[in-house]
A and B are shown apart, each in its own frame.
Chain A
Amino acid sequence: MCDRRLLFNALVIFAVLPTGFAQHTEPSSQPEAGKELRIAAAADLQPLLPPLLHQFEQQTGIHAEASYQASATLATQIIDGAPFDLFLAADLSFPQRVIDAGRAEQAAPLPYARGTLVLWTRNDSGVADLSLEALQNAGVKSIAIANPDHAPYGRAAQAALQHAGLLNALRPKLVIAENIAQAAQYADSGNAQAGFISLTSALTPRLSTDGHFVQVPDEDYPPILQGAIVVRGSPGAGAAHRFLEFLQRRAIQQTLAAEGLKPIH
Chain B
Amino acid sequence: MDLQALWLTVRLATATTLVLMASGIPLAWWLASTRARWRPLVEAVTTLPLLLPPTVLGFYLLVLLGPRTGPGRVASRLLGHPPAFSFSGLVIGSVLYSLPFAVQPLAAGFRSVDIALIEQAQLLGAGRFRTLTAILLPLSTHSVVAAAVLCFTHTVGEFGVVLMIGGDIPGATRTLSIAIYDQVQDFSYAAANRTSLLLLCFSALALVLLYMRRGRTGTPHA
Residues of A near any B CB (own CB < 8 A): 1, 3-5, 7-8, 11-12, 14-15, 18-19, 22, 70, 72-73, 76, 97, 141-142, 144, 147, 149-150, 174-178, 185-186, 189-192
B82 touches A149 (CB 8 A): no
Contacts A7-B108, A175-B85, A175-B168 given: A18-B66 contact, CB under 8 Å? no
Q: A22-B55, A142-B167, A186-B62 are in contact. List 7 more A-B contacts (CB 8 A).
A: A4-B112, A15-B154, A22-B54, A76-B185, A177-B167, A178-B168, A189-B66
Binds A, one of B21-29, B117-125, B127-135, B157-165: B157-165
From residue 53 to 72 of chain B, which have CB atoms closer than 8 A to chain A?
53-55, 62-63, 66-68
A12 touches B219 (CB 8 A): no
B159 touches A19 (CB 8 A): yes
A176 touches B169 (CB 8 A): yes
A186 touches B167 (CB 8 A): yes
From residue 203 to 222 of chain B, which have CB atoms closer than 8 A to chain A?
207, 219-221
B112 touches A191 (CB 8 A): no
A147 touches B101 (CB 8 A): no
A191 touches B169 (CB 8 A): no
B54 touches A176 (CB 8 A): no
Report B-chain residues with C-beta under 8 Å of the C-beta of A147: 168, 182, 185
B68 touches A190 (CB 8 A): yes
In the complex, A85 Cα to B110 Cα: how many Å?
56
Report B-chain residues with C-beta under 8 Å of the C-beta of A178: 163, 168
Of all chain A residues, the one with the shortest Cβ separation from B186 is A149
Task: Kindly state whether residue B81 has any CB partner on chain A within 8 Å.
Answer: yes
Report B-chain residues with C-beta under 8 Å of the C-beta of A15: 101, 150, 153-154, 157
Report A-chain residues with C-beta under 8 Å of the C-beta of B68: 189-190
A18 touches B54 (CB 8 A): yes
In the complex, A70 Cα to B181 Cα: how many Å?
12
| From A8, A150, A174, contact of B146 by CB (8 A) | A8
A175 touches B167 (CB 8 A): yes
Q: What count of chain B residues pass the 8 Å CB interface test? A: 41
B185 touches A14 (CB 8 A): no
In the complex, A19 Cα to B158 Cα: how many Å?
9
Contacts A70-B185, A76-B184 given: A190-B66 contact, CB under 8 Å? yes
Contacts A1-B112, A142-B82 given: A189-B185 contact, CB under 8 Å? no
Residues of B near any A CB (own CB < 8 A): 50-51, 53-55, 62-63, 66-68, 81-82, 84-85, 100-101, 104-105, 108-109, 112, 146, 150, 153-154, 157, 159-160, 163, 167-169, 182, 184-187, 207, 219-221
| From B82, B108, B157, B168, contact of A4 by CB (8 A) | B108
Of all chain A residues, the one with the shortest Cβ separation from B104 is A11
A191 touches B85 (CB 8 A): yes
Report B-chain residues with C-beta under 8 Å of the C-beta of A149: 182, 185-186
Of all chain B residues, the one with the shortest Cβ separation from A1 is B220
- 18 sample A-B contacts, Cβ–Cβ < 8 Å, listed by A number: A5-B220, A7-B105, A11-B50, A11-B105, A18-B54, A22-B53, A22-B54, A22-B55, A70-B185, A72-B185, A141-B82, A142-B84, A175-B168, A176-B167, A176-B169, A186-B84, A186-B167, A189-B66
In the complex, A175 Cα to B170 Cα: how many Å?
10
B104 touches A7 (CB 8 A): yes
Report A-chain residues with C-beta under 8 Å of the C-beta of B186: 72, 149-150
B101 touches A11 (CB 8 A): yes
Shortest Cβ distance from residue A189 to the other chain B in the assembled complex, whole angstroms: 5
A73 touches B101 (CB 8 A): no
Report B-chain residues with C-beta under 8 Å of the C-beta of A73: 185
Shortest Cβ distance from residue A11 to the other chain B in the assembled complex, whole angstroms: 6
Shortest Cβ distance from residue A6 to the other chain B in the assembled complex, whole angstroms: 10
Shortest Cβ distance from residue A145 to the other chain B in the assembled complex, whole angstroms: 10
Report A-chain residues with C-beta under 8 Å of the C-beta of B53: 18, 22
Of all chain A residues, the one with the shortest Cβ separation from B174 is A176
Shortest Cβ distance from residue B187 to the other chain A in the assembled complex, whole angstroms: 7
Report B-chain residues with C-beta under 8 Å of the C-beta of A142: 82, 84-85, 167
In the complex, A73 Cα to B82 Cα: how many Å?
29
Report A-chain residues with C-beta under 8 Å of the C-beta of B168: 147, 175-178
Of all chain A residues, the one with the shortest Cβ separation from B50 is A14
Report A-chain residues with C-beta under 8 Å of the C-beta of B159: 19
